[in-house]
Amino acid sequence: MFAIPALDLVPLGAAAGTVRLPGSKSISNRLLLLAGLSEGETTLVDLLDSDDTRVMLDALQALGCRIEPDGSTTRIVGFGGRPAVAAADLFLGNAGTAMRPLTAALAVLACEHGGDYRLRGVPRMHERPIGDLVDALRGLGCSIDCTVQEGYPPLRLRGGQLDLSRPVRVRGDVSSQFLTALLLALPLATAQQAVQIEVVGELISKPYIEITLNLLARFGIAVQREGWSRFTLPQGSRYRTPGVVPVEADASSASYFIALGALAGIDAPVRIEGVGADSIQGDIRFVEAAQAMGAQVHSEANALEVRRGAWPLQAIDLDCNHIPDAAMTLAVMALYADGPSTLRNIASWRVKETDRIAAMATELRKIGATVDEGTDFIRVHPLAQFRSASLHTYDDHRMAMCLSLAAFHELKGSGPATLRIEDPKCVAKTFPDYFEALFSVVSVERDRVPVITIDGPTASGKGTLAASVAEQLGYHTLDSGSLYRVTALAARRAGVAADNESALAQVAAGLKLRFEGTRVFLEGDEVTDALREEAVGTMASQISVWPAVRAALHELQCSFRRLPGLVADGRDMGTVIFPDAALKVFLTASAAARAERRHKQLISKGISASLDSLRADLEARDARDRSRSTAPLKPAEDALELDNSGMTIGDSVDLVLGWWLQRRPFVLQG
């Protein structure tokens, strides 16, 4: 039932601060292929690490390139003009920037040296047209089979006889990636003569062709062009690695933070590092569109600072052919404008990761917006009152990132709405840490950050339940027991006794802690395993009776309440630390069931233990936790009780997520 993880966003407030963006996807994958086709070693600095670059790296490796990642650099030893293997089956996910150029390069290489290459991807990739490129390559003499449906991947490339007597003709009006693919691959065919490419129809997305030409030039290939209709690759063109190549940050990714500055950079700017006025990416011109809507932008060579100017934003009517990807961001900004905004000449949206015109219209309507759409335009009307909604993201990274910008509606006077972003991890295609970056610059009052509390006795399975619920919701976790345990451990190390309240409180207040996921570090030392030792647990229970110790840990626990939300487990999460939590669960299980679980846990770690003494110890600890005068273990009045003695963890997670959903202001559709 809850197979798809989701991220619930509360209304977000002002933004300020600095974000560093990941490398550009378009540049990263082009550079990877060029490095692979070159002889010798290329070092790429700040290469994007994402789904789409990973499939390209895997493909190059399968073809015989040596790839050595090392921190922020990636060293690639290319295979030059000839892959090490003549047959390969390559899986390219949903990466158009891998599928198209590799198709062209391998089709040509198979003609020159013989070969049998299969290229395939996820189901959506098999719905994305590639017929125009296949036709162009067939016109050149390449033998290509579309093995399932003519005009679509999967493909099989099996050599052929290159005929370069006529120009290669390719359509330019569906996707510029076809021309890019030919430009990147055809230097391979220039040993005997120059190769000409003729574009049929009006070329769309010209800025992406400029990126291709720019990067080819860096690899020693000087393409001559007449307007945008005829390109010549000179005879004897050879890929020559420039050695070290820095990868620019992604200008399309910058669009979300430029929009953020325009919407929420109220008292201070949002600073974006890694891309600026010197960018070779066409999407950098999104800056002009954002300025037209009112953003104040200060550009540096390699950085941008954006703050709010006009408010509400100014409506625009814009031909977006030059910024096809970034233009999606304008569709969401339009919700905050002073009139309807029309984005034109965007037919290419329909053949991207999903049909983006239909997807954007459908999802914005769920929030309450009026949207008109046509084959190649979208018109978005401003919205006064945003509605809570669960928003589908279509396995499309840009849908997820764009839709998150609808969470700033209170800044425009709308009442609060909760937006659920379904499958938020789809941002991994180009920007794996997008939401972390967003939350790092957005402010929100602490008490508006949603909290789910899971209290209960020791070994009831709170930790496991909390971690699973948090994982499904994309929320942070607080294992408050670990703070009492780490205090106990630190006290033991410092020789402080369990009855010395003031010294213990001092230890608790001075803890130097660092958390990495579920790992805990004390003074730089990892103590994750040490914290689970029985002796530490027993001392934790003893020292947790002291009011001064509890007070010393109070603020530390509250500081875990950060966007997008928190799942906190312990004894007094719902009663004392987060009394305003949106959902409180009191988890119990019989002492017998808990003793058995703990027993299994210890045995699996190779620690021997007696079931009876474990049970006696648990009961003693329960009694102490229940009877202490400060913050005793008891259900909050508004807690929902869950006895999981006979339940699997999956059942408990489903039950809690079901309770959570009942308290969300939207109904799930579909």
**Residues with a known catalytic role:** 325
Minimum distance between the CB of residue 484 and ligand DC, rounded to whole angstroms? 3
> What is the widest separation between alpha-carbon atoms in the chain?
92
- Residue from the set 256, 377, 431, 484 that interacts with ligand DC by CB under 6 A: 484
Q: Is 621 in the site for ligand DC (CB under 6 A)?
A: yes
Q: Which is nearer to ligand DC, 422 or 625 (CB)?
A: 625
Where do the H-state alpha helices sit in 166-222?
Answer: 176-185, 206-218
Minimum distance between the CB of residue 485 and ligand DC, rounded to whole angstroms? 5
Minimum distance between the CB of residue 455 and ligand DC, rounded to whole angstroms? 7
**Pairing label, strands 513-516, 155-160:** unpaired
Minimum distance between the CB of residue 541 and ligand DC, rounded to whole angstroms? 3
- Residue from the set 392, 485, 584, 598 that interacts with ligand DC by CB under 6 A: 485
Minimum distance between the CB of residue 451 and ligand DC, rounded to whole angstroms? 13
Give how far the C-alpha of residue 403 lies from the chain's centroid of Cα atoms, to the nearest Å: 13
* Binding-site string for ligand DC from residue 572 to residue 611, where x marks contact by CB under 6 A and - marks none: xx--------------------------------------
The two tokens of residue 401 are 């990132």
Q: Which is nearer to ligand DC, 41 or 533 (CB)?
A: 533
- In a 3-state reduction of DSSP, which class is residue 124? coil
Residue with tokens 């420039």: 242
Backbone angles phi, psi at 196, to 5 degrees: -110, 140
Q: What is the dihedral of CA 522, 526, 529, 532, to 10 degrees?
A: 10
* Binding-site string for ligand DC from residue 437 to residue 476, where x marks contact by CB under 6 A and - marks none: ---------------------x------------------
Q: Which is nearer to ligand DC, 98 or 451 (CB)?
A: 451
Backbone angles phi, psi at 342, to 5 degrees: -120, 125
Q: Which is nearer to ligand DC, 422 or 572 (CB)?
A: 572
Closest to 59 (Cα-Cα) out of 17, 93, 104: 93
Contact (Cβ atoms closer than 8 angstroms) between residue 228 and residue 203 = yes
Q: By rule CB under 6 A, what count of residues binds ligand DC?
A: 15
Closest to 385 (Cα-Cα) out of 397, 371, 368: 368
Residues in contact with 193: Cβ distance below 8 Å, sequence separation at least 6, in sequence order: 164, 235
* Binding-site string for ligand DC from residue 217 to residue 236, where x marks contact by CB under 6 A and - marks none: --------------------
Residues in contact with 297: Cβ distance below 8 Å, sequence separation at least 6, in sequence order: 258, 261, 287, 290, 291, 304, 305, 306
Q: Is 480 in the site for ligand DC (CB under 6 A)?
A: yes
- Residue from the set 115, 481, 565, 574 that interacts with ligand DC by CB under 6 A: 481
Q: Which is nearer to ligand DC, 492 or 664 (CB)?
A: 492
Distance CA(42)–CA(31), nearest Å, equals 9
Q: Is 363 in the site for ligand DC (CB under 6 A)?
A: no
Distance CA(489)–CA(493), nearest Å, equals 6
The two tokens of residue 539 are 């001392």
* Binding-site string for ligand DC from residue 523 to residue 542, where x marks contact by CB under 6 A and - marks none: --------------x--xx-
Minimum distance between the CB of residue 468 and ligand DC, rounded to whole angstroms? 16
Q: Which is nearer to ligand DC, 153 or 537 (CB)?
A: 537
Minimum distance between the CB of residue 539 and ligand DC, rounded to whole angstroms? 9
- Residue 259's Cβ-count burial label (10 Å; 0-12, 13-18, 19+) is buried
> Which residues in this chain contact ligand DC in the complex, by CB under 6 A?
458, 480-481, 484-485, 537, 540-541, 544, 570-573, 621, 625
